[in-house]
């Protein structure tokens, strides 16, 4: 039984949600709570929001709740007092929680922090619903090798990769000409560079179509999210890097496409609601009902497409360079972007400085192959230090 309706006498499916207090995590719990007899929640984790984590854990009867920030442990433990839910704290506790028994794991921790627990869930041979694109950006070769070695199943949850997964012919990949990632274009698709120099964090997180967390919303506004998705797609789908394209589709109705060599183009369409790809991953290989608005094409009326502007969205170029450079460069790209986005959200640098900090840091990226998790974490730490230095210099200008 993959998910959804539980047959009489069947054992509930044991699930864990890493990043349960974020947008993806909350949508996942929404689906789980609609059929509580079908699922038993093993683990919930959060970064700092101990109050929401405790409320969620009580509500779904989780066995363990882990907050990554050790300073919030006392708050979490107090909030769970008398509930029977075990509490833990710290990054290592989050990673260790992935060793707990779970048939299905939602990997929704934002950023490189999700890498260690995702790898551990993979090594347990679980079905891993991957909503953390940074895991494959930083360590795609390692993760995919472990998926094969441990017999795990990796299901992409990003709406774009989930769409491609649904229409990609894995049995005959030689028939694929290219894959096309669609992008909404974010809130500044029609704005000039002069305006973008003055953008505030409040403007950047106001996505026109999707309800996402602050970091992901800023990545959408810079189009770095699409750059990271190109790198992620290179690990998920057996196509050359040159066969991965991006097109702007403001309506966010077509979530991505696969173009075949015979001229056919297959697309997955749907309302912009993350519960659709989450439900697909939760029920895979079956399908389950999801509480989403059914797509009404007559009401949508018009679907439009355009080429992304490389001058206003240099993040796409930087991601392509990282993809082509390989080795440590994608890890540097991701780390520098995380630091720069945090700096922008804290109002220490401007919106266009994000790409500048990333490009400057990438220019110093170490060469060679990174083949272990330790090496990746070393590169990540180096890139964060260098990006912070670059950010300080940019703020002083």
Q: Is residue 277 part of a domain?
A: no
User: Do residues 42 and 149 share a domain?
Assistant: yes
pLDDT in the model for residue 147 = 96
pLDDT in the model for residue 368 = 78
Buried b (16+ CB within 10 A) or exposed e, 260-284: beeeeebbbebebbbbbbbbbbbbb
| 278 Cβ contact list (under 8 Å, min separation 6) | 24, 27, 28, 31, 106, 129, 131, 157, 290
Domain stop point among 157, 190, 206? 157
User: Do residues 108 and 163 share a domain?
Assistant: no
* Dihedral angle computed from the Cα positions of residues 247, 248, 253 and 255, in that order, rounded to the nearest 10 degrees: 40
Q: Is residue 175 part of a domain?
A: yes
Mean pLDDT by 10 residues, the chain (397 residues): 46 96 96 96 97 98 98 97 97 96 94 90 96 91 95 96 98 98 89 89 75 81 94 97 96 96 98 95 96 94 94 94 94 95 94 95 87 90 95 75
Q: Into how many domains does the chain fold?
A: 3
Match 């990054």 to its residue by tokens: 91
User: Do residues 214 and 334 share a domain?
Assistant: no
Neighbours of 259 (CB within 10 A): 17
Tokens of 397: 């200008």
Query: Strands across the sheet with 39-46, in order?
Result: 86-89, 64-67, 39-46, 13-18, 104-107, 127-130, 153-156
Q: What is the CATH number of the domain that holds 114?
A: 3.40.50.720
Residue 313, preceding peptide bond in cis (omega within 30° of 0) = no
To 5 degrees, how large is the angle CA 208–CA 28–CA 343? Answer: 50
pLDDT in the model for residue 3 = 44
pLDDT in the model for residue 6 = 44
How far is it, in rounded angstroms, from Cα 397 to Cα 387?
15
User: Do residues 362 and 376 share a domain?
Assistant: yes
Q: Is residue 209 part of a domain?
A: yes
Closest CA to 223 of 272, 270, 187, 267: 187
pLDDT in the model for residue 209 = 58
Q: What is the CATH number of the domain that holds 343?
A: 1.10.1740.10
Q: Is residue 96 part of a domain?
A: yes
User: Do residues 95 and 110 share a domain?
Assistant: yes
pLDDT in the model for residue 219 = 92
Helix or strand (DSSP H, E) at 126? none
User: Do residues 49 and 111 share a domain?
Assistant: yes
Closest CA to 218 of 318, 290, 226, 14: 226
User: Do residues 195 and 255 share a domain?
Assistant: yes
How far is it, in rounded angstroms, from Cα 153 to Cα 134?
18
User: Do residues 139 and 181 share a domain?
Assistant: no
User: Do residues 24 and 119 share a domain?
Assistant: yes
Domain stop point among 119, 135, 157? 157
User: Do residues 111 and 223 share a domain?
Assistant: no
Q: Is residue 318 part of a domain?
A: no
Residue 191 bridge partners (DSSP): none
Backbone angles phi, psi at 178, to 5 degrees: -165, 165
Q: Is residue 288 part of a domain?
A: no
- What is the greatest pairwise CA distance in the chain? 67
Q: Is residue 65 part of a domain?
A: yes
Tokens of 45: 């984790």
User: Do residues 125 and 57 share a domain?
Assistant: yes
How far is it, in rounded angstroms, from Cα 386 to Cα 369?
20
pLDDT in the model for residue 187 = 85
User: Do residues 106 and 205 share a domain?
Assistant: no
Q: Is residue 117 part of a domain?
A: yes
pLDDT in the model for residue 156 = 97
Q: What is the domain extent for residue 384?
A: 326-397
How far is it, in rounded angstroms, from Cα 209 to Cα 11?
38
């Amino acid at each position: 039984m993959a998910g959804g309706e539980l047959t009489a006498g069947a054992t509930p499916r044991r699930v864990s949600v890493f990043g349960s207090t974020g947008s993806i995590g909350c949508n996942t719990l929404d689906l789980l709570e609609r059929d509580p007899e079908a699922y038993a929640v093993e683990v919930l984790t959060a970064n700092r929001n101990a109050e929401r984590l405790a409320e969620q854990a009580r509500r779904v009867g989780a066995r363990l709740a882990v907050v990554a920030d050790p300073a919030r442990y006392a708050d979490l433990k107090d909030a769970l007092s008398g509930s029977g839910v075990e509490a833990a704290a710290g990054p290592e506790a989050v990673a260790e929680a992935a060793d707990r028994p779970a048939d299905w794991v939602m990997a929704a921790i934002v950023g490189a922090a999700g890498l260690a627990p995702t790898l551990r869930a993979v090594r347990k041979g679980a079905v891993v619903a991957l909503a953390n694109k940074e895991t494959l950006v930083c360590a795609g070769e390692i993760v995919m090798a472990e998926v094969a070695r441990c017999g795990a199943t990796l299901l992409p949850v990003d709406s774009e990769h989930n769409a491609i997964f649904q229409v990609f012919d894995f049995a005959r990949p030689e028939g694929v000409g290219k894959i096309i990632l669609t992008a909404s274009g974010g809130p500044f698709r029609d704005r000039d560079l002069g305006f973008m120099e003055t953008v505030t964090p409040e403007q950047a997180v106001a996505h026109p179509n999707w309800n996402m967390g602050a970091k992901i919303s800023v990545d959408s506004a810079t189009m770095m999210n699409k750059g990271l998705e190109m790198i992620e797609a290179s690990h998920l789908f057996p196509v050359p890097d040159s066969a991965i394209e991006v097109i702007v589709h403001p309506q966010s109705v077509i979530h991505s496409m696969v173009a075949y060599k015979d001229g056919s183009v297959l697309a997955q369409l749907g309302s912009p609601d993350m519960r659709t790809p989450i439900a697909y991953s939760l029920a895979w290989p079956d399908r389950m009902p999801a509480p989403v608005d059914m797509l009404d094409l007559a009401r949508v009326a018009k679907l439009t497409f355009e080429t992304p502007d490389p001058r206003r969205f240099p993040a796409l170029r930087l991601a392509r360079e990282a993809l082509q450079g390989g080795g440590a460069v994608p890890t540097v790209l991701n780390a520098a972007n995380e630091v720069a986005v945090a700096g922008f959200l804290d109002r220490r640098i401007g919106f266009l400085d994000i790409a500048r900090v990333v490009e400057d840091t990438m220019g110093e990226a170490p060469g060679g192959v990174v083949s272990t998790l330790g090496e990746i974490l070393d590169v990540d730490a180096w890139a964060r230090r260098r990006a912070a230095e670059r950010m300080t210099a940019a703020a002083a200008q």
